[in-house]
Structure 1
Amino acid sequence: MQTKKLLLTLFEYKAWANQELFHLMGTVSADTHARELHDAIRILNHIHVVDQIFAANMQSQAHGFTALNTPDTPALDSLHQRVAKTDQWFLDYLDQQPDTSFGDEIHFTFVDGKPGSMSRGEMLLHVATHGNYHRGAVGRILFQIGVQPPRDTLTVHLHQATKPAT
């Protein structure tokens, strides 16, 4: 299978998993679980900031971030909208890339000011796996407050994507 096809599958999965998690997060009582909800939103915001940093790096643009999270915690709905827009950006970006571009080396500066260099494919893999790791932490917070987290696995996504509509 082509690199591009695999990466598209990963980013379709990422967008689906984000949607599932944000929808569930919207059902959590802010009155009853304010601290846990705040912590979960901070984690989701961190994922979004890192996504934005790498999107800028892949375009050789300045990202403007000086840390891996923002000082303020956004509202869940606002963050959800921004994450959905960024997820679509990655899908569109991938769709436009020739399969040969994923080995291209891209030089950038990390938030701490140190120089970095990764291939386009490595950057995309980092974005996909980084988000997955942190969504798991949010799932753990949900579980601890008695909310069953979404079944955030690639196999569930692929099964849902391929089963006939009812």
Structure 2
Amino acid sequence: MTALLQKLFGYHAWANNDLFDKLETLDQAQHKSELHTALRLINHYHVVAQIFAANLSGVQHNYASGNTAETPTLDELRAALASSDQWYLNYLRSVPPANLRETIPFAFTDGDKGYMSREEMLTHVALHGGYHRGEVGRLLWQLSVTPPWDTFAVYLHQTEPGRRLQGGEPSVSA
């Protein structure tokens, strides 16, 4: 499972980077409202990723909600998200696979208690980010801007071009 999670977070980082590349092409004055909405959505999934990174690390976070009062700039948020993405990639390189099944109790920002396995937390962070990137993609469509290709299949074929070889033999493992 660790290998799949590593690919999933590689994809997550790649998709985040592509999204910022696309957002940087917007006329910031003309699309001020839509860009602000996009930044709020991205900041939300970044904050959630930070909260779960704290849960995975066994440290307290300082977030009282799933977003911050202030909206970071595009550049600030891009840097913060890239740092978070790198943290998750590093975490997955260092966590022993057996530890992924360990459950961790935590409190949600609304005070409700819960617990998830490390594997479930990691999966949540990646899927949650994808959900909100999709919302930003919808905003781009509404501006007649084609959003980036945010799919796992595209990521795999761009990062592993050998997958495009015609007539290659699929591998099957038991």
SS of match in other structure, 1:160 = helix
Name the amino acid aligned to 2:50: Q
Structure 2 unaligned runs (5+)? 163-174
**Per-residue deviation, 1:115:** 1.2
Matched residue, 2:26: 28
Structure 1 residue runs of 5 or longer lacking an equivalent are none
The aligned counterpart of 1:40 is 38
Match of 1:156 among 135, 154, 157: 154
SS of 1:68's equivalent in the other structure is coil
Partner of 1:123: 121
- For the pair 1:51 / 2:12, whether they are aligned, the reply is no
Cα offsets for 1:92-148 (capped at 9, x unmatched): 001001111110011111101111110000000000100000000000001100110
Cα distance between partner residues in 1 of 2:27 and 2:42 = 17
RMSD: 0.7
Distance 2:33 2:44 in 1: 17
Aligned residue number for residue 3 of structure 2: 5
Aligned length: 162
Residue pairs, 1:91-110, within 5 angstroms: 91-110=89-108
Structure-2-length-normalised TM-score = 0.92
- State the percentage of identical aligned residues: 49
1:147 corresponds in structure 2 to: 145
Structure 1 residue runs of 4 or more that deviate by more than 2 Å after TM superposition: none
Residue 78 (structure 2) pairs with residue 75 (structure 1): no
